[in-house]
Amino acid sequence: MARSILLKSMLGSYLVAALFGVIASLTAGGSSLNFLGTSLVIAGVLTLILIAQVLTTVGNPVLRWVMFICSLSAVLFGACVLLEIWLAPQSVLRSHITTIRTVMVCSLVLSLSFLHIGYIFYWRVGTRNWLSISRWGLLGINLFFLFQFELASIDPEVFELFTDLFGPDIYARLIGVLIIIFFCATAALPLGLLVRKNRHQTHDAAAAFNTAVSLPISCPRCGMHCGLKVGHSTCPQCKLAMELRLEEPRCACGYLLYRVDAKQCPECGRSIPDYLRWAGVTPSPGPSG
């Protein structure tokens, strides 16, 4: 219900922004620009909150708190922007404009950073695989960038002391490399999950059971020869109900262990118990005539 209200409010804000944009174009600015900026800010804040609400569907309680802080930061950012639009030109807030802008930048960076954290933990990547390593690496880069932006906004002098430890040239190269890794890994995370899902489906399809196969048996009650199919069957003569159930060996992560003779799961790296591991037993030859 709350998400539906947010969505309708966001769409309404964009519609109002478009309307004021047309008015500002026709009237050559004026107060309509303030209304245009206000509607755009409200629409942007509602968009951030709505995305944060969507990312909480994973059910992780820690992620819920992260998204809650993200939403509060977005609201604080919007409030600072509205203060600058409507009240900053007045003398009462003119002396505090630097503080308002600092809080505005810090809250926006914090909201976007936490939104990215919600994005990388939204995907179910499992444990002990390269996707999990990529996710934690992205978290580290995210927090490093967050620290850098917040420090540069709050205390530029301390930030300069920090950059002097590396040297301006080395620091700039480091930031450039981290930005490339950051954006590439962020985009590659869902693509990697898509590749893994496709590999799962291909592997499962190759080892799928043919449910049409019938196992010839003799009815344990009347002795009549009949075929036992996967699932429920009944003897054609005495109507004895029988059930054939086949269980595939799977790892705890869900990966099918058909023809997997390794000691670790190729998907998550967990140890495969001996009773689930593919043995490759050669069928014994039948009796010679």
pLDDT digits (tens, 9 = 90+) for 14-29: 787 777 777 766 676 5
Same domain for 88 and 165? no
For residue 288, being part of any structural domain is answered with no
pLDDT at 197: 65
Same domain for 63 and 115? yes
**Which residue in the block uniquely carries the two structure tokens 């059930």?**
243
For residue 194, being part of any structural domain is answered with yes
Tokens of 70: 């993200």
Of the pLDDT bands very low, low, confident and very high (cuts 50, 70, 90), residue 160 is confident
Instruction: Compute φ and ψ for 236, nearest 5 degrees.
Output: -60, -25
Same domain for 176 and 227? no
pTM (2 d.p.): 0.63
Q: Is the pLDDT of residue 254 over 60?
A: yes
Considering 62-76, 88-102, 255-269, the range whose residues carry the highest mean pLDDT is 62-76
For residue 150, being part of any structural domain is answered with yes
Same domain for 162 and 270? no
Helix residue spans in 125-263 (DSSP H): 130-154, 156-166, 168-206
For residue 59, being part of any structural domain is answered with yes
Q: Per-residue pLDDT tens for 165-184?
A: 778 788 888 889 999 999 98
Same domain for 29 and 105? yes
Q: Is the pLDDT of residue 48 over 70?
A: yes
Identity at 113, one-letter amino acid code: S
Please say whether the beta carbons of 44 and 10 come within 8 A: no
Same domain for 186 and 276? no
- Between 3 and 103, the more confident residue is 103
pLDDT-above-90 percentage for the chain: 15
Tokens of 131: 């996707």
Q: Per-residue pLDDT tens for 111-155?
A: 999 999 988 888 776 666 677 788 888 999 999 999 988 888 888
Instruction: Compute φ and ψ for 234, nearest 5 degrees.
Output: -130, 145
Report the number of distinct structural domains present in the chain.
4
Domain that holds residue 161: 123-206
Considering 9-13, 62-66, 75-79, 184-188, the range whose residues carry the highest mean pLDDT is 75-79
Of 146, 177, 206, the one marking the end of a domain is 206
Same domain for 142 and 112? no
Of the pLDDT bands very low, low, confident and very high (cuts 50, 70, 90), residue 209 is low
Same domain for 84 and 4? yes
Tokens of 109: 């960076």
For residue 286, being part of any structural domain is answered with no
Q: Is the pLDDT of residue 242 over 70?
A: yes
